[in-house]
Structure 1
């Protein structure tokens, strides 16, 4: 093996916390260095341990998948999902995620690190879920200590991740779910827009995606838009301002796009003509 894991003395209590920390870090390094899948699986199943509740434990597929996410090891992530299916997305041990009652952290970690390719793999793995199971998985809040208790959609808006946002919305994430403070994803995004630069273009793209997946605009910050119309019209444009306050209906083009984006798979958006792609529509509508 490329890392010296030491020789365990099976006559002694070799599964000590110190030795587990050593082998755990070796596995972390191996995934970080993008070692081949076979080498990582050999390490995970035979040679490395982490310390959990006073005993040595092997890394489970969900724990290995978290490492693959953090380090963008796409081949390892693909292997784990193909081999263990949604079992690779189950809750890891408490040493990896202390909020055991919350959703598994893989979605929010994928959004935080902007792992678009692996996020798409996760979405594909949910195809066998029922609609209710998929909704639950996509919309449940994440770990409070790691992700502030936010679900993946709120996090995508807060961190301004357009590719993550459209993928989540296109696979059924609900744009009306609120966080612990009662904010919708739209509220989180408007707060980001109010802060101005940097990357206003990406913020406007995210706003366009939310508009395409929100038939009704119910959000906490509606009162702030009403109180400061000049400010918000300068930030999001006259048309978006009118639509969000429901002072005028979206154009027929936007309504048609709303119907289309909710009825075709996200992957097929790339095959649309340029003038019909939501991204191009967004830049045309909100470019300043």
Structure 2
């Protein structure tokens, strides 16, 4: 089997082929959802990495977690985050990330891996405050991702579950990407796309943002909304439109929900949503993620 091949010396094209074969075998094993113990044996096997200047190394927990995210290998992701919480969320090698920053949150949002995202966020809560904020509010590569945070990506890709998890764990809704857009701007751009596909999920994302954004949030599209008032009122509804542009305060319900949501500490989110004194149908989203 290809994963039984070890680097034992020598050089040339045959050795490079063996290396690539061994490297692909680990990727393939994660893709095939093989058992955790087997994957860890493979991960720690020394292989010769030509792209790293010809040195012997192993796959880091960070790189293994990226594979687990791509292929939704939840048991392997849970193992890595439990046993190696810091190194599993560390910066991977240059062959995995061009801008040398940890892309795990953004990757979880991109592939909509809600359960693995939940476990990453739980792991981050144990980090020092500065490290925690650095992960939650990391801006992506300016060349490839336009400086977007994971929250921007959740809005761009219309991922309401990911969005609520990020907000509830402390991701900032006020940060701007390389183009000067806040997550609200990113979501409004998606809402304005015609035809109005997936509008229910887009408005659900906007409802989630309403619960966490500061009331005086300045966002780039505000003037565009005012200049095209009727169009945006039709898209958002009059109450949402007026609250968003500051022509009216939030409704009593939104104001009460903001107060209730902010009583939940990140380490108890989203489990504590079940304890809110509200009927089930009024709660933001039904997130059952423990299993």
TM-score (norm 1): 0.90
Whether 1:129 aligns to 2:133 is no
2:44 aligns to what SS in structure 1?
helix
Q: 1:177 matched to which residue of 2?
A: 175
Match of 1:267 among 245, 264, 271: 271
Call closer, same or farther: CA 1:248–1:51 in 2, change over 3 Å. same
Deviation per residue, 1:69-111 (Å, 9 max, x gap): 10000000011111111221000000110101xx301010000
SS of residue matched to 2:260: helix
1:276 aligns with 2:276: no
Q: What does 1:150-165 align with in structure 2 at a 5 Å threshold? A: 150-165=148-163
Aligned counterpart, 2:251: 251
Higher alpha-carbon deviation: 180-189 or 12-21 = 12-21
1:231 and 2:236 equivalent? no
Contact 1:24 1:49 in 2 (8 A): no
Residue deviations 1:255-279, cap 9 Å, x none? 0101111221322224543143024
2:289 equivalent in structure 1? none
For the 8 Å contact 1:134–1:172, the answer to whether it is kept is no
The correspondence for 1:109, drawn from 95, 103, 107, is 107
* Structure 1 residues 40-84: Cα deviation after superposition (integer angstroms, max 9, x where no partner): 011111265543322243111100010001000000001111111
Question: Structure 1 residues 43, 164: closer, same or farther in 2, change over 3 A?
Answer: same
Once the two structures are superposed, residues 204-228 of structure 1 have per-residue CA deviations (whole angstroms, 9 ceiling, x without a partner) of: 0000011110122310000001000
CA distance in 1, matches of 2:7, 2:115: 42
Per the alignment, residue 219 of structure 2 pairs with 219
Unaligned runs of 5+ in 2: 287-291
Partner in structure 2 of residue 98 of structure 1: 98
TM-score, L = length of structure 2? 0.89
Which residue matches 1:76? 76
Q: What SS does structure 1 have at the residue aligned with 2:163?
A: helix
* 270-279 vs 109-118, which moves further: 270-279
Distance 1:278 1:107 in 2: 22
Superimposed CA distance per residue, residues 176-225 of structure 1 (whole angstroms, 9 cap, x where no aligned partner): 00000100000000000000422100000000011110122310000001
- Aligned alpha-carbon RMSD (Å): 2.0
**1:136-194 CA distances to partner (integer Å, 9 max, x unpaired)?**
22112123455343110000000000000000000000100000010000000000000
> Displacement of 1:21 after TM fit?
1.4
CA shift for structure 1 position 12: 2.1
The reply to whether residue 138 of structure 1 matches residue 136 of structure 2 is: yes
Structure 1 residues 48 and 253: alpha-carbon distance in aligned structure 2, compared to 1, 3 A threshold: same
Q: List gaps (5 residues or longer) in structure 1.
A: 281-288
SS at match of 2:42: helix
Instruction: List structure 1 segments (4+ residues) > 6 angstroms apart after TM superposition.
Output: none
Range with greater deviation from structure 2 (109-118 or 21-30):
21-30
What's the offset of the Cα at 1:6?
A: 6.1
Structure 2 partner of 1:62: 62
1:34 is aligned to: 33
